Structure 1
Amino acid sequence: MKAIKLPKQIKKIGLLLSTIAIVFATLLCFEGNKTKADANDTNGEIDQYIQKKLEKNNIPGAAVAITHNDKVIFTKGYGRTSNHTPITEDTQFAIASLSKAFTALSVMQLVEEGKIDLDKPIKQYVPSFQLNDLRGSKITPRHLLNHTSGLTDKVYHDMTLDPQPKSFQEVIQQLRNVSLTSEPGKEYHYNNTNYQLLALLVEAVSNEEFSVYLKHHIFDPLEMKQTFNVVNTKELNKGNKVIGGHYYLFGQPIAKDEPEWFVDGPAGIVSSAKDMAKWLIIQSNEGKYDNNQLLSSKGIKKMHTPASSEISYGMGWNTFKDDNGKNQIQHSGILWTYKSEALLLPDERYGIVMLFNSGMNIFVDYYSFTDGIAKILTNQPQKEPFYNNQLFELLVGAIIIVTIILGIRQLLRLQRWAEKYKSRPRWLSTIYLLLRLIPLCLLIFLPKVMTFIGGGRVLSWEGIILMMPSIFILLIIASFFNLMIAIFRVKQIFR
């Protein structure tokens, strides 16, 4: 067969097109490598940032997961567990109140199946639910999801109940003596009981135990193989799956079992950074993970939408704007020996979660971890404070030493005080003596003080001590010395 000769012009055009294609492919390759290098640089910066903050705050162990759109871009474990095992992306942590978003999702799944109406009274689904308040019959699933049911820690302080309930039926029984703080739908009050009732609602409608429902409809579709739900925190201390967390004593992490608390619904899930990455993906990917659509995009958006212009809480998530006016969606998880933080950047479609094996402490700013990571991802300047929990604990320790020294000194100088008393107006000496009782009053009324500071949350004595042991020790020492000084000075007066 005779070969066909192409005109020279066509050959030149073909050569030109081939050259352009090669150059374009090279540029694409260069850009791809550049993007990959940029991503590696960002991950390296995040890695260094986390390591420095963990060391600065003396946090024993943590794990992080970061997602972008439907991809996991970074997961890593840091430090060690309480039995000195290295933490990895597969290490399991109690995620505490991050569980609320899972409970909210399970409710919204049943809403989309037409089995739950958000605005019908919950009593229609759970006939046994009854309060010592006629307004209780108006409470709807929406009110419970938004924490606007009118239930508060002050009327039903679930964290301080002793003994703790063992089931939803016991919770229902105890609620029969409870009255509401406000009209349903009017005021926001964060309360764990709302999400206990929602978990019970899921059981009543789906005819599955809540833990089983979570596994079948959320954990399994998301391939969250290291994730499960517990009813009581005592289950965290059994077996080898979950290693105990820590509390802080003068800035040093001390291993401890989690105090007992009925957490089914609001705070019972155990997970790993690897599994939580999959959970983050459906938040930024319109409810979809791989080929599994767990919730519609409208359902996810509804969960991320605040209850009203006055209430920033949505359904299992807090919503707010950052310093630049961009939307952020966040939730914290708090136990006494574990802590967790989750942050979504819906505009950039990033998801961040950090899990810690140290618990709530008034001196540790856990939120700053996810906030700092978000600033790195969005190229914003970071404002890292010079102070940290170690500095605060050192300061408290110094105050304790000074309190002891001054207390002993004043006890040894009672005679000198008695001489001053003779020349001083009695009313002034009486005021000085009464002021000595301030530390003791603070110690006695510490739970009420913490409730006031904490926006109405009611904490147990054990919880308060684990959250701020150094402050508690300071109050005990200050109360002891000031009380002794006051007693001995009154004796001097009567002599």
Structure 2
Amino acid sequence: MKSRWIIGALLSSCLLLAFCDDNTALAEKPSAVPITVRMAAKDSPSDEALLTYEATRKVAKEKADLLTKTYGTNSVQYALIDHGRIVVSGQSGKNDEKGQKPLTKDTMYGIGSTSKMFTTVAVMQLVDQGKIDLDTPVVRYIPEFAMKDERYKQITPRMLLNHSSGLNGSSMTNAFLFEDNDTYAYDTLLKQLAGQTLKADPGAYSVYCNDGFTLAQILVERVSGMDFTSYIHRYMTEPLGMANTATPLDSPDEAKMAGLYYPAYTGQLPNETSSLIGIGGIYSTAEDLARFSQIFTGKAEEVLSGKSAAAMAQDEFKTPLWPDDADSSFEYGLGWDSVNPYPFSEYGMKALTKGGDTLLYHSSLVVLPGQDMAAAVVTSGGSSVYNQLLANEILLRALKEKGTIAEFKPEKSYGVPVKADMPESVQQYSGIYGAFSGTINIDITKGGVMSVTSEQSPDTPAQIFGYSADGTFRSAYGNTIISFVTEENGRTYLWLRQYASLPGLGQKAISEYNAEKLRPQDLPAETRKAWMKRDGKKYYLLNEKYTSIVYLMMQPFQLNVSKQLPGYVSDKRITGPNTAVSELQIPGMSGRDLSAYTFFTQDGAEYLDVGGSILVNEDAVNPIYVAKKSIVTIPSNGYARWYSVSDKDGGKIVKVNMPSNASFAVYNAKGTCVYFSVVGGKDQVELPAGGAIVFAGDAGTKFEISAE
């Protein structure tokens, strides 16, 4: 999880380029008086400590309200800490659906991948104690860790923390559940990795990787002899006074959790849980994350040495495979998303950032070590990107109010295209480019016009860029430039640089290898025939637990063989009648979460394995039989049972009787979930014509279905 949690490549169909010129508040009033949290003995009160931060608090509240009213966020909680004192704290938005539980500073939120900072601190604490060496192979500490690829023996703890391990990405089966602290996803990681190969040499380049941090969590448990939840409480939350930080294994009070909602579903949702604690399963508050930030500003050396905190803040991303220097939001340290983020680089300030996104929660922590300040923002709904922009705004306003900065820097642009004749050789960069989220078609005309379209989103209008005198392609308003780089590995990359402005929130800088050029290939007739039989077919997920949030959010996965790039399906090269692999080598974010497609047949039905997720071909999904009473039984393999809804049965009301360890969900003809029993709580529902219904539960579970 990062900044964005991904449940396998099968759920990703977004346009791969990030281009963008891109309810009444029920909040308590932000604290008017600074709250003393802790102050090191060497510190003494100063004029700074007596500031009221009135202007900063006003802006923080205005911007938080903007998130809830304009940017699709349900609720926001924020905090600013300055020299060990929480000086700004507030909330905005709605909590419970009935409006009976106001948001407070103690309302807890999932922090997603900001949890990775707890994992990193835990590893570095053990480094301080001499129990872990960052550059000793992980197998020395976890002997049972093994993979099909012998290079795994070279993976070190440092590589886990700086995303350079070469692991494929994210093992997420049963990772996100409703009010269920089942540890399956964590317990099975080593088994999952045992069947995998690496996508790159360990240490070759950094590409965002969730599995590396789950492995780091296992490392902490093996070396410390403690379970991870107990460890972080003893060595982090208790020493720092973080009374409102917990994991699903603490079974926190649901009444203390922020209310969750999903745009396509009516009503409040149960709480979200994840057993992948070390990569994204921790709950906290903005104030607690502000307290946590003291580790990185020298206020908590009893928790982590200054030497280790400084080591975490060093550049760890500058391998040979990385774009040239430019303003960016991703420059990895140990755990950190960036150790030199824009816009603080504009002010000559060292900054550290980490964001997190689960399916429903979002967070951001921004630390200014040299200023002894940090801001944290957590939300229900929205995005960690929005949260980081709010945290940036809070910090910049406070810095100005203190007089540390005189004026705010203006937003930046690369400038509009300067018209020039384009060399014919530039047309060689036309073609299909791939990333973990799909493929795009780059078409460059002789006249210097470049259009970008997505094969996965054919209805999305083309994005147009013009050739400029400096050899780049630029958007009309100059916020985005694109160029092409052929690296030493012989691969050609689309290099995207962008200043993306969100009105009222600020500007985000992006510099990344956004996609890699793919080469067409001819397929043997037998292989091509096998894949064309699958072209356009829908596949239905079978092996998520009955409490899985995925049943609420996912739509059937439709497999489409590329019409633009022979021999490919999405970014994956077809390697045989039943196999396709992603061979991308892209640093940063666009080469994350790579999964192969493997098909197999059992009892006459075709199944698809995508990174441990098992799906079944629509041809094996039969219409549901609606009678006075019928029985559906979960088979011995535990796979969910899917049925289609015929036109003649559309509109019928069915009642479902089932045990507690089971659920069912109903989908309309567009694949949108219209009822999920874990959320809805009723036992009867109308069947939509052309839709589908799924039954999930433990092996042998029986569902009694009757027509009303």
The bucket for the TM-score relative to the shorter chain is: 0.5 to 0.7
1:104 equivalenced with 2:127 (yes/no): no
Q: What's 1:40 paired with?
A: 54
Aligned-pair CA distance for 1:246: 2.5
The answer to whether the 8 Å contact 1:247/1:336 transfers is no
Tell me the amino acid that sits aligned with residue 276 of structure 2.
V
Alignment partners' CA distance in 1, 2:175 and 2:93: 35
Partner of 1:398: none
Normalising by structure 1, report the TM-score: 0.65
Which residue identity lines up with residue 357 of structure 1 in the other structure? S
Aligned match of 1:20: none
Matches within 5 A, 1:40-59: 40-59=54-73
Kindly provide the amino acid, as one letter, of the partner of residue 219 in structure 1: T
* Residue 244 (structure 2) pairs with residue 222 (structure 1): no
Aligned residue among 310, 313, 316 for 1:304: 313
Q: Which amino acid aligns with 2:336?
A: W
Identity %: 26
Q: TM-score, normalised by structure 2?
A: 0.47
C-alpha change, 1:35 and 1:125, in structure 2 (3 Å) is closer
**Are the counterparts in 2 of residues 146 and 307 from structure 1 also a CA contact under 8 Å?**
yes
CA distance in 2, matches of 1:49, 1:160: 36
Describe how 1:248-327 pairs up with structure 2 within 5 A.
248-249=263-264, 255-257=268-270, 261-288=274-301, 293-310=302-319, 312-318=331-337, 319-323=339-343, 324=346, 325-327=348-350
Evaluate the alpha carbon distance shift between residue 160 and residue 208 of structure 1 in structure 2; reply closer, same or farther with a 3 A threshold. Answer: closer
3-state secondary structure, aligned to 2:280: coil
Picking from 56, 59, 79, the partner of 2:93 is 79
TM-superposed deviation, 1:248: 3.0
Structure-2 separation of matches of 1:240 and 1:54: 21
Mark the runs of 5 or more structure 1 residues left unpaired by the alignment.
Answer: 1-31, 386-401, 404-436, 463-471, 477-495
> 1:63: which partner in 2?
77
Local SS of the residue matching 1:90: coil
CA contact (8 A) 2:357 2:363 kept: yes
Distance 1:378 1:322, change over 3 A: farther
Matched, 1:370 2:391: yes
Matching residue of 1:456 = 591
| 1:334 alignment partner in structure 2 | 357
Task: Report the counterpart of residue 119 of structure 1 in structure 2.
Answer: 135
The structure having more radius of gyration, on CA atoms, is 1
Work out which structure has the larger RCO, using CA pairs closer than 8 Å and 6 or more positions apart in sequence. 1
Q: Does residue 142 of structure 1 match 2:141?
A: no
The answer (yes or no) to whether the contact 2:296–2:309 under 8 Å persists in 1 is yes
The DSSP-based 3-state class of the residue aligned with 1:106 is: helix
Which residue matches 1:179?
A: 197
Letter in 1 for 2:316: A
Output one character per residue of 1:326-385: Cα deviation in whole Å (capped at 9) or x when no partner. 332111110111110111123333201001011559xx7333212222332233538799
Find out whether 1:444 has 2:444 as its counterpart: no
Separation (CA, whole Å) in 2 of partners of 1:165 and 1:132:
24
Higher alpha-carbon deviation: 370-379 or 98-107: 370-379
Amino acid at match of 2:340: F
- The aligned counterpart of 1:131 is 147
Partner of 2:510: none
Larger mean CA deviation between 204-213 and 57-66 belongs to 57-66
Structure 2 CA distance for aligned equivalents of residues 169 and 82 of structure 1: 33
C-alpha RMSD of matched pairs (Å)? 4.1
Residues in 1 aligned to 2:239 and 2:175: alpha-carbon distance in whole angstroms: 37
CA distance in 1, matches of 2:409, 2:258: 33
In structure 2, the CA distance between the partners of 1:301 and 1:253, relative to structure 1 (3 Å rule), is: farther
1:193 deviates by 1.0
Once the 2 structures are TM-superposed, how far is the Cα of residue 304 of structure 1 from its aligned partner?
Answer: 1.6
In 2, distance between residues paired with 1:99 and 1:50? 23
Structure with the bigger percentage of helix: 1
Aligned length: 373
CA pair 35-131 structure 1, distance change in 2 beyond 3 A = closer
Q: Indicate the SS of the match to 2:290.
A: helix
State the partner residue of 1:389: none
Q: What SS does structure 1 have at the residue aligned with 2:386?
A: coil
Question: For residues 377 and 175 of structure 2, what CA distance do their matches in structure 1 show?
Answer: 31
Amino acid across the alignment from 1:177? G
Match of 2:212 among 179, 194, 206: 194
Change (3 A) 1:346 1:473: farther
